[in-house]
Structure 1
Amino acid sequence: MSDFGLQSLPSLFYLAGIFIACFSSLLIIGKRKKIVADYVLAAWFLIIGIHLILFILFFSGSYVTFPYFLGLEVIFPFIHGPMLYLYVLCVTGRNPGWKIGLLHGIPVLIICLLLSRLFMLSPWEKLAVYQSGNNGYQLLSKVIKYLMILSGIVYVVLSLFAVKKYTKGISDQYSNTEKMNLNWLYYLIAGIALIWIAVIIRNDILIFSMVVLFIIVAAYFGISRVGILDIPVVHETAVEEREDHEVVKYQRNSPGDEAVQTIYKRLKYKMVHEELYKDPELNLNNIAKLLDVHPNLLSQVINSMEHKNFYDYINRQRIEAFKRTVVLPENQKYTILSLAFECGFNSKTSFNRNFKKYMNCSPTEFVKNQSIHME
């Protein structure tokens, strides 16, 4: 079923990949604090390990001795895309559940059905098919090849959308997102994308060399991280249930302009007189409890009155507070960063990025333009 042309096999490299995949799977299962994403990643590593074993059997010519496994190497590429997507969903707190998992198993089932005729052959008949250059299976082989590439592209795109959606959700809920670094998920998706590019250009050594490197990188992040966040993650299912309930509630009793204005005035009062923005861990739920309103309603008020999400709104308050603070003579003995922390920022990167976003200049340039001399 495959027309790959590999003449030599650096078997030790691939055997090391198999060992790393299987050993990493065991290490992840052995973690004390496991989340659903850990189980998904452990299963995925095991699948990758088995795939590499099939690769060695096939491209080393050992399939002649073990023809029982012929055809399985075609199925495994269709598993990796769904596993990536399910892992991304789980690690961002949106555990898909077994029904969604089965739904994404449909492409694998379709491939099994397409290959059913081959699987019904005896091992030696399958061997004859492979040795004769897939006689009678050329069209099917081409169809499966294009379906394989399509599967890879679709699941890479779905995974990217899932991360972007989660990033937007974070900005609607939290005022500081520095602890919520999603870059490693992007690296993971990029790694899979590069492997699929190698599949498209049909460079077999490159494909499986990149798979081994991917295992090493994914194992590092999968073992060293419990999840993306260092704070509790709100699962999407719970959020959706809450939002569905609120949608019905709003449809029955949608807040009018007067109610929105009242909540907005109370919010501004809290910001001015209690300086809530100075809390680096401030989130939407904290303020909603103080105002005794639902978080969804508060988010709606901020979006409609400020035309910003929660993250941008709070960080704009912090920047304005910094501008007021830094010009005071008694504060010129402090550093710019210490004043930024006093105003609620929790990292230099976050402060500089947000300041430049709103002021079109760096904090240092702003201070110089104000003729302020910091110690």
Structure 2
Amino acid sequence: MIFWSLVFAIGAGQAALLALALWRRPVNAQANRVLAGWVALIGVDLAVKAAYFHGPAPELLKAYRLVGLFPFLYGSLFYLYVRALTEARGLDRRDLVHLAGFAVSLLPNLGVFLQDAAQQRAFFEHLRQGGYWPGRPWLDIGLFVYSLSYVIAGLVRVRRYRRGLLQRRSDADRMSLHWIDAMAVSQIVIWCIAVVQWLARIPWIDYPLIYGAVVGWVFVVGYLSLRQVAVAAEPAPASVEEARAEEPAADDPRFPAVEARLAQLMAQEQLYREPALTIGHLAKRSGYPEYLVSAVINRRFEGHFWDYINRQRVEAARACLADPDEARTILDIAYACGYTSKSTFNAAFKRQLGQTPSAYRQRHAGSAASGPA
């Protein structure tokens, strides 16, 4: 077990450094402080595991059992992190309800925490002879169901956020929260390992492997969270409901005028070139209410605001790439058309035209070279 003790100690050190970095990071500050607290708890968990696996002793039993119940917090902390990220707000006293699972998990273990030294030694021998902790197996089943429900709730919130983002911002791809998916999938994989270890005794799938995977998760979270971009908070629920109430059920007589105005703003003022263009800004420039502009884009142009702006950008880039006299690089053209990354531009271009920008430019360059002199 010395190997695993070393792995857990490394993970604990990494978690401590990551928690400190996240706490001080100004981007998405409120959410990162929730994540910092979560990672710090994992660091404590791993540190206790490192000490216990290095030299199991009755004196470590209470601390070992306490951190063994921390996973009841991890699912709810994932949900709270996602909520803080998408709403740009920290925790308050009402969020104590999300600690209920952990509080309930403590109840069957109160006897362990109240043991005196002699009782600890006796219980330690009981565990060494193959005995179980209090609450097994129902506590293990409850942990999996409880934590998984919170992860699913967090992913549902992310999906709702993405859908709203596509309706509001032209740079939605920069705030798509794909790192949240990676964090969630990693947690589910860890719990699946735990379930397999619980149901079937496979030699290389054991308890240390579960926390070895947790160490790997800490490094994944560190890499992803420190690279995250600033996330725009979703609008308050009241404003969303008001917008839905205002949106016309049928085509408004002003639709043609709004459609013409949008075409003018795109063709003459080229608003699509603004990387962080929002539906609110476009509505303000058009002179029409936001709900009406949104309805026109959704119904007349058959797509989200993000789709609509992407089509304008790709069409502008296509015209530049087809021009044999255009000397700018593909990346310069992408930036000029409002994109902020080459990968996003390439994906949008290929999705709309069926080929990459470089292939499109080469084809048109070949056509120009083979044309009449």
TM-score in terms of structure 2 length: 0.81
Distance 1:309 1:369 in 2: 31
Answering whether residue 236 of structure 2 is matched by residue 239 of structure 1, we say yes
SS in 2 for 1:345: coil
Deviations 1:123-147 (A, max 9, x none): 5435534533499977831001112
Distance 1:9 1:337, change over 3 A: closer
Alpha-carbon separation, structure 2, partners of 1:296 and 1:123: 68
- The equivalent residue for 1:228 is 229
What CA distance in whole angstroms lies between the structure 1 residues aligned with 2:358 and 2:55? 65
The one-letter code of the counterpart of 2:229 is I
Match of 2:207 in 1: 204
Q: Determine the structure 1 residue equivalent to 2:66.
A: 72
Greater alpha carbon shift after TM alignment, 362-371 vs 19-28: 362-371
Report what 1:41 is aligned to: 35
- Give 5+ residue unaligned stretches, structure 1: 1-6
Aligned-residue Cα RMSD (Å) equals 3.4
Instruction: Provide the C-alpha distance between the structure 2 equivalents of 1:356 and 1:119, rounded to a whole number of angstroms.
Output: 60
C-alpha displacement of 1:38: 2.3
Distance, in Å, in 2 between the alignment partners of 1:137 and 1:11 is 22
Q: Distance in 2 between matches of 1:341 and 1:239?
A: 32
258-267 vs 87-96, which moves further: 87-96
Establish whether residue 357 from structure 1 lines up as the match of residue 358 from structure 2: no
Does the 8 Å contact 1:81/1:156 carry over to 2?
yes
Amino acid at match of 1:372: A
1:316-340 deviations in Å (ceiling 9; x for gaps): 12223334444456x3455555444
> Which residue identity does 1:24 align to in structure 2?
L
* Whole-angstrom distance in 2 between the partners of 1:139 and 1:281: 54
Counterpart for residue 3 of structure 1: none
In the superposition, the TM-score normalised over structure 1's length comes to 0.80
Q: Distance in 1 between matches of 2:60 and 2:321?
A: 74
Aligned length: 359
Give the CA deviation at 1:173.
2.0
2:253 aligned counterpart, secondary structure: helix
Distance 2:335 2:46 in 1: 50
Give the Cα separation in 1 of the matches to 2:2 and 2:340: 53
* Alpha-carbon distance between aligned partners in 2 of 1:173 and 1:120, rounded to the nearest angstrom: 55
- Following superposition, the deviation at residue 74 of structure 1 comes to 3.5
Whether the 8 Å contact between 2:78 and 2:154 is mirrored in structure 1 is yes
Structure 2: gaps (5+ residues)? 198-205
Say which structure, 1 or 2, has more relative contact order (CA 8 Å, 6+ apart). Answer: 1
| Counterpart position of 2:222 | 219
| Aligned residues of 1:332 and 1:373 also touching (Cα < 8 A) | no
Q: 1:90 and 1:241, CA in 2 relative to 1: closer, same or farther beyond 3 A? A: same
Counterpart contact for 1:70–1:127, Cα < 8 Å? no
Residue 372 in structure 1 maps to residue 373 in structure 2: no
Are residues 1:173 and 2:168 paired? yes
Secondary structure of the equivalent of 1:293? coil
Distance in structure 1 (CA, Å) of the matches to 2:240 and 2:66: 43
CA contact (8 A) 1:68 1:123 kept: no
> Is the Cα contact below 8 Å between 2:4 and 2:50 reproduced in 1?
no
CA apart distance, 1:151: 3.2
Give the AA of the match of 2:285. L
- 1:40 deviates by 1.1
> Comparing 302-311 with 164-173, which one deviates more in the overlay?
164-173
Q: Does 1:83 align with 2:77?
A: yes
Distance in 1 between residues matched to 2:354 and 2:312, nearest whole Å: 16
**1:176–1:280 Cα contact (<8 Å) kept:** yes
**Residues 1-375 of structure 1 aligned to structure 2 (within 5 Å):** 10-31=4-25, 35-60=29-54, 62-69=56-63, 71-95=65-89, 97-98=91-92, 101-122=95-116, 124-125=118-119, 127-133=121-127, 140-177=135-172, 179-180=174-175, 182-202=177-197, 203-222=206-225, 224-225=226-227, 227-229=228-230, 233-236=231-234, 238-249=235-246, 257-328=252-323, 331-367=325-361, 370=364, 371-373=367-369
Distance 2:300 2:11 in 1: 55
